[in-house]
Amino acid sequence: MLQLKEISKSYSTGDFTQIALNKVNLEFRENEFAAILGPSGSGKTTLLNVVGGLDQYDSGDLIINGASTKKFKDRDWDAYRNNSVGFIFQSYNLIGHLGILDNVEMGMTLSGVSSSERRKKALNALKRVGLIDHINKKPNQLSGGQMQRVAIARALANDPDIILADEPTGALDTTTSEQIMELIREIAKDKLVIMVTHNPELAEKYASRTIHFQDGHVINDNNPLKRKILNLIIN
């Protein structure tokens, strides 16, 4: 489904080069909830950006549904971001002067979806996250948890294969954080969810897999994908 093979990424400022990812190898299942943990500067967010096509890797290969992305052009990355990936951010990234229905629809404007289909998908997504009774409200009329639910609905609306979440509970209280994590865990039953978090307690309670990063390396993975190896013995 999604595989990182020897992925490296570095950033240079003047004479200083920071290695963010150092030959990372990871493979994800089609549907699982993977939490990425590690200290600041460990490579967590860079990993999310590379997987989401927001940043390009320097070397290695990102393989999507069995296809290499080494020769992807800008239009290929655009199509991937618009159709295959949904993003959830800590700060919600909602447009204040638009209603929540329009906010959810905005996520599909670059995907070539007709206006009637966008409306239908947006309503279905808002129903899924429990906000169908709030569709006429604007973001400033919602609680933090409700705004994050709008952001989740926006990520789900176009039915992507992958949901990427960057500290989705970072601005929420404990009770609301648990509600959002329950929702994300439910979503992961039929999608790949990769979440970056600084909260190991929530990760261990809700995620089906926890991956720890340090200095651009994976140092622990409690549920790696294990391929079955068939040994053919010829007599």
> What gap in Å lies between CA 22 and CA 80, rounded to an integer?
24
> In this structure, is residue 19 part of a structural domain?
no
> For all residues of the chain together, what is the average pLDDT?
93
> In this structure, is residue 137 part of a structural domain?
yes
pLDDT at 110: 76
Give the residue numbers spanning the domain of 97.
Answer: 2-13+26-221
pTM of the model: 0.92
CA distances from 89 to 103, 165, 167 (A): 14, 6, 7
> In this structure, is residue 197 part of a structural domain?
yes
CATH code of the domain covering residue 180: 3.40.50.300
The per-residue b/e assignment along 52-68, b for 16 or more CB within 10 angstroms, e otherwise, is bbebebeebebbbeeee
pLDDT tens column, 22-71 = 999 999 999 999 999 999 999 999 999 999 999 999 999 999 999 999 99
> In this structure, is residue 132 part of a structural domain?
yes
CA distances from 76 to 24, 38, 64, 80, 177 (A): 23, 31, 12, 6, 35
Specify the number of domains making up the chain: 1
pLDDT at 219: 98
* Residues 125 and 157 sit within 8 Å (Cβ to Cβ): yes
> In this structure, is residue 126 part of a structural domain?
yes
> In this structure, is residue 231 part of a structural domain?
no
Q: Chain centroid to CA 186: how far?
A: 15
